């Protein structure tokens, strides 16, 4: 395990923050989830899980030489 690799909720690439927020709201809209303080953990989790799936997919494509890496 890497030193200091605990969950600090800090982005490794701060410049990606805007793109990640855009992705979050696009996925929430696709799922019919309105993000806010009254959103259930299950709904928030479904959006977060989909973000993770898509980021992993993008990374796999990039690593396999399958195109540009875009968020």
In angstroms, rounded to a whole number, what is the distance separating the alpha carbons of residues 49 and 45? Answer: 6
The secondary structure element, H or E, covering residue 25 is helix 17-31
pLDDT for the residue numbered 24: 93
In angstroms, rounded to a whole number, what is the distance separating the alpha carbons of residues 19 and 13? Answer: 11
The residue that leads in pLDDT, 66 or 23, is: 23
User: pLDDT-derived band of residue 14, with 50, 70 and 90 as boundaries?
Assistant: confident
pLDDT for the residue numbered 1: 44
Q: Each residue of 14-41: b (16+ CB within 10 Å) or e?
A: eeeeeeeeebbeebbeeeebeeeeeeee
pLDDT for the residue numbered 8: 66
pLDDT for the residue numbered 65: 82
Is pLDDT at 57 greater than 80 in this prediction? yes
């Amino acid at each position: 395990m890497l030193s200091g690799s605990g969950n600090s909720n800090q982005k490794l690439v701060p410049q990606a923050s805007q793109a990640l927020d855009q992705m979050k709201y696009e996925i929430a809209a696709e799922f019919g989830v309105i993000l806010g303080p009254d959103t259930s953990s299950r709904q928030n989790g479904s959006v977060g899980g989909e973000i993770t799936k898509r980021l992993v997919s993008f990374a796999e494509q990039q690593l396999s030489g399958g195109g540009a890496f875009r968020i």
